[in-house]
Amino acid sequence: MQIFQVDAFTSELFKGNPAAVMVLDQWLDDALMQHIAMENNLSETAFVVQRADKSGWDIRWFTPSHEVSFCGHATLASAHILHTEYQAERPIQFFGKVGALQVDLHEPHDRSPSYLLDFPVIAQTPMDALPKEIAASFAATPLALFKTYENYFVVLENEDAVRTFEPDLGALAKLGTDGVIITAQGDDVDFVSRYFVPGSGIDEDPVTGSIHTTLVPYWAQKLGKNTLAAHQASARGGNLSCRLVGDRVHIVGNATTYLRGNLCLEA
């Protein structure tokens, strides 16, 4: 079985967010897929299987510790591999736990093409206060708080507050598999963000497509515009061009193949 590793949301190697991708003829045992993800030790490993009627591809995502409901950068990585290695028909239609996800080629490039991701908006619910587990992690009162089914969002005063934030990973881990996103209006882009989910074995995710399906609607309303430039201010960093289109979020990002290999499993 072949395995690939892709740097997503970047046109350069060693930047963006790495994800592993395996294109399977049929699903492996759940425990085996979890072991493979654990062995890869990346924030996400994606497994894809073509549907019997050829209408698209079922996709599942695993962190080193558990299966998740949605991962944007590993979906981008999977589309990149299906396009460059398997010459899959475009647009590529994925079906995951959050519904239909479509990826099409945006700009061709021999090494690092860009793709248009069409994802559903993930709705948020306003909150009055931070969870007690992490309240002490924030010296200043956040400007706004809201939550999705799996993440807490904290709006800070400015970009510098996001960039200089020092997370208490032990406290954040008490939230279990729920993550924490900090965000603010940007200086040179419309908004910036960072994402922490140590309870899933990911201290800080480099570039996260899925969180932008909530961030984009929020900042579109705040800034009064539907086309937004975003930057995830992790050490590796990543830029995302985003657009709110009704109840969908369009994200443009590059992808670059880092590794092609063969998985060796004992019988």
Which member of 12, 39, 44, 85 is catalytic?
A: 44
Query: Which residue is it, tokens 């949301």?
Result: 9
pTM recorded for the entire structure: 0.94
- Binned at pLDDT 50, 70 and 90, residue 267 comes out as low
Termini Cα distance of the chain: 13
pLDDT at residue 163 tops 60: yes
Q: Is 116 helix (H, G, I), strand (E, B) or coil?
A: strand
Q: Is the pLDDT of residue 111 over 90?
A: no
> Nearest to residue 73, comparing CAs of 216, 248, 205?
205
Which of 240, 261, 183, 178 is closest to 8 using CA atoms?
240
Tell me what pLDDT residue 265 has.
83
Residue 266, pLDDT above cutoff 80: no
The three-state secondary structure class of 252 is: strand
What pLDDT, on a 0 to 100 scale, did the predictor assign at position 219?
Answer: 98
Instruction: Look up 44 and say whether it is catalytic.
Output: yes
* pLDDT averaged over every residue in the chain: 96
pLDDT confidence tier of residue 79, bands split at 50, 70 and 90: very high
Dist. CA 219–CA 221, nearest whole Å: 5
Name the residue among 251, 246, 250 with its Cα closest to residue 231.
251
Rg of the chain (C-alpha set) = 18
